[in-house]
Amino acid sequence: MPTTVAVLVGSLRKESFSRKIAKQIAALAPSSLAFDFVAMGDLPLYDEDVEKAGAPAPWVAFRNQVRAASALLFVTPEYNRSIPGVLKNAIDVGSRPYGASVWSGKPGGVVSNSPGGIGGFGANHHLRQSLVFLDVPVLQQPEMYLSGVGSWFDDGGNVKDEKHKELLSKFATTFADWVEKHAKKS
């Protein structure tokens, strides 16, 4: 049975480059992984007072979906040299209440991207900083700072250039190996 990977895309836009990259990775990955895209756009902002009064249904559904996965894949653009607010809020929602984090111990992968030349370097490292605290062992190599992604895709959302496809395929294979070695077996 394939290992379930919760996919968290840091962009809400339906045709975002991050979503296209995540879909390509899922398509190129070994069959040992099953990818479950987790929606984050309907999550109310985290507020501990709201938590104490009773977690809203979107928080509960989000936590249950991530908790059911054995691994995590984050694919995100860079906003203002960091991660988008929707992704930060999802991380906060999933890490609470204290002692009940849905992230802890799950192997993860981080892919950042940008139409510009830096490839989301700042977002990648800010996200990794949070994941260290959350006890998510993150794949170190290959590092995935994808630049110039505005020209990567055809009208169908597929990667056009074979070298980009090879890069995503290498990442997918290496990530599958990482998950196999680090995912907790139930």
pLDDT per position as a tens digit, 52-108: 999 999 999 999 999 999 999 999 999 999 999 999 999 999 999 999 999 999 999
Number of domains the chain is built from? 1
**Please, which pLDDT band fits residue 184 given cuts at 50, 70 and 90?**
confident
Query: DSSP label at 2?
Result: P
> In this prediction, what percent of the chain has a pLDDT beyond 90?
97
Distance between start and end Cα atoms, the chain? 12
17-59 confidence digits (pLDDT tens): 999 999 999 999 999 999 999 999 999 999 999 999 999 999 9
Q: For 136-152, how does the pLDDT look when each residue is reduced to its tens digit (9 = 90+)? A: 999 999 999 999 999 99
CB 119 within 8 A of CB 76: no
**To 5 degrees, how large is the angle CA 64–CA 98–CA 111?**
60
The CATH code of the domain that includes 54 is 3.40.50.360
Q: In this structure, are residues 172 and 30 in contact, taking their beta carbons and an 8 Å threshold?
A: yes
pLDDT score of 185 more than 80: no
Say if residue 186's pLDDT is above 70: no
- Domain containing 114: what range? 3-182
Q: What is the amino acid identity at position 186?
A: S
